[in-house]
Amino acid sequence: MKIISWNINGLKAMIKKGIIDIIKNLNSDIYMFQEIKSNEIPISFQFLGYNIYSFPAEERGYSGVMTLTKEKPKNIIYGIGDKKFDSEGRVLTIETEKLFLINVYFPNSGQDTLKRLDYKLEFNKKFEEFVLSLNKPSIICGDFNVAHKEIDIYAPDRFRRYAGFTDEERAWFDHFLSLGFVDTFRYKKGDIIKYSWFSYRGKARENNMGWRIDYCLVSKNIKDKVEDADILYDISGSDHLPVMIEIKI
């Protein structure tokens, strides 16, 4: 099974940038898209041969997640059971016979002012409770909006206390992994430096000045089934790059 997760930063914009051809060429079993910013499923998507599930935000043009899967799921779960967060369309879960596949878009903690840090930390806790309530192994992919370690950000000293690199956000990521989850990129690639998000400013992508804030995590009891994990540097269109895992399930 090949899974690709990608913050596309606007579905309508990505249609114009060729996402249909990207989906066809990558030929993944499952796509998890974040920040779709749309409450519509484009007609062109409906002829791709996937079952399509969308969980948009109530606010138009904001947030939202979408999952495409070749295999019809056993069940779909929209949100985490808390209106405060589900109104922003941040979590979409599909259940198969063997596991749960969770598409998640974590809140940004608020740029320089950290005005949404408390909101994000509360979301983190509610998300954690939701995941731990599931009774099968999980694959969790999405934009976590946090660079976990110093190796995951190009200038760690410069960005301390910035949104996405606060002690609180990084400590929660440590805590969440300790509950029985594995960062598949680090598991398969070790200390290789690759980033998944680049600012549009200052030729950040050309100069490899990025952050790794997009992840695919798996339950520890299925980590040995992961055959590959990577960040797809040759795909463009968004300020994020797709992250990919191949897992034998």
The helix (run of H) or strand (run of E) holding residue 184 is helix 184-189
Which of 83, 38, 84, 46 minimizes the C-alpha distance to 63? 38
Across the chain, what does the average pLDDT equal? Answer: 97
**pLDDT the model gives residue 50:** 97
Residue 202 has pLDDT above 90, yes or no: no
Q: Which domains does the chain have, with CATH numbers?
A: 2-247 (3.60.10.10)
- 143 labelled as ligand-binding? yes
173 close to 214: Cβ distance less than 8 angstroms:
no
pLDDT band at 231 (very low <50, low <70, confident <90, very high): very high
Report pLDDT digits (tens) over 136-173: 999 999 999 999 999 999 999 999 999 999 999 999 99
Which residues, in sequence order, are CB contacts of 157 under 8 Å at separation 6+?
none
- 239 labelled as ligand-binding? yes
- 145 labelled as ligand-binding? yes
| In the chain, % of residues over pLDDT 90 | 97
Report pLDDT digits (tens) over 77-97: 999 999 999 999 999 999 999
Give the total residue count for the chain: 249
Provide the annotated active-site residues.
105, 143, 240
**pLDDT the model gives residue 35:** 98
Residue 249 has pLDDT above 90, yes or no: no
**β-bridge partners, 210:** 198
Q: Compute how many other C-beta atoms are within 10 angstroms of the C-beta atom of residue 51.
A: 14
Residue 229 has pLDDT above 90, yes or no: yes
Q: Compute how many other C-beta atoms are within 10 angstroms of the C-beta atom of residue 210.
A: 23
SS3 content of the chain, % helix, strand, coil (to 5): 30, 25, 45
- 168 labelled as ligand-binding? no
Residue 112 has pLDDT above 80, yes or no: no
pLDDT band at 111 (very low <50, low <70, confident <90, very high): confident
